[in-house]
Amino acid sequence: MKTVLILNGPNLNLLGTREPQVYGAHTLADVQALCQQACAPHGFALDFRQSNHEGELVDWIHEAGRAQAAGTLAGVILNAGAYTHTSIALHDAIKGAGVTVIELHISNVFAREAFRHHSYISPVARAVMCGLGVAGYPLAVAALAQLQAGASQ
């Protein structure tokens, strides 16, 4: 059984408590439950994490690279939060770890402030998803399953 690692960056622990007009009313625990449901039919185990610390996210990406190389990880779904728009360290970590990453955003970052239009993650991501609300998370799990199926053909 392969694992899907879902990483959530800074402030996403606040989901469901503020700005519901932007991010919806679901909490991060709700999102985890949605992802658990999405993983089961594909035979994936779920590893769901959140950190407000850039270096911790970097460490987790490195760990994911090792796990994917060992054949135990399908890939990473990464909502890097505001680090998306600032973090060369995360860009380098994804590139260096050689891990499959789907970049995910709850909101449509392109319909928001100009500073959210640039991503350091996108050039090193396998795919980018945004604007689907928290429903994007289970869709990203399905996308990873699709990529796995394609890779094994």
Q: Catalytic residue numbers?
A: 23, 105
Residue 127 tokens, joined: 């795919």
In 3D, which of 126, 131, 129 has the Cα closest to residue 148?
126
Shortest Å distance, C-beta 84 to ligand CA2? 6
Q: 116, 101, 112: which is closest to 4 by C-alpha?
A: 101
**Is 79 a binder of ligand CA2 (CB under 6 A)?**
yes
Q: Does 105 bind ligand CA2 (CB under 6 A)?
A: yes
Which position among 42, 95, 116, 126 is part of the footprint of ligand CA2 (CB under 6 A)?
A: 116
DSSP assignment letter at 131: S
Phi-psi region at 34: left, alpha or beta (left = phi > 0; alpha = psi -120 to 50): alpha
**Choice from 25, 40, 69, 82 touching ligand CA2 (CB under 6 A):** 82
Q: What mask, x for binding ligand CA2 by CB under 6 A, covers residues 10 to 49?
A: -xx-xx--xx---x--------------------------
Scanning 29-37, 61-69, 91-99, 103-111 for contacts with ligand CA2 by CB under 6 A, the matching segment is 103-111
| # of chain residues touching ligand CA2 (CB under 6 A) | 16
User: CB-wise, 6 or 67, nearer to ligand CA2?
Assistant: 6
User: Which two tokens mark 153?
Assistant: 């053909």
Nearest residue (CB) to ligand CA2, 14 versus 151: 14
CA 57 from centre of chain: 11
The sheet with strand 101-105 has its strands ordered as: 45-50, 3-8, 73-79, 101-105, 127-130
Q: Is 117 in the site for ligand CA2 (CB under 6 A)?
A: no
How many CB atoms within 10 Å of residue 2?
A: 18
Residues forming the site for ligand CA2 (CB under 6 A): 11-12, 14-15, 18-19, 23, 79, 81-82, 84, 105-107, 109, 116
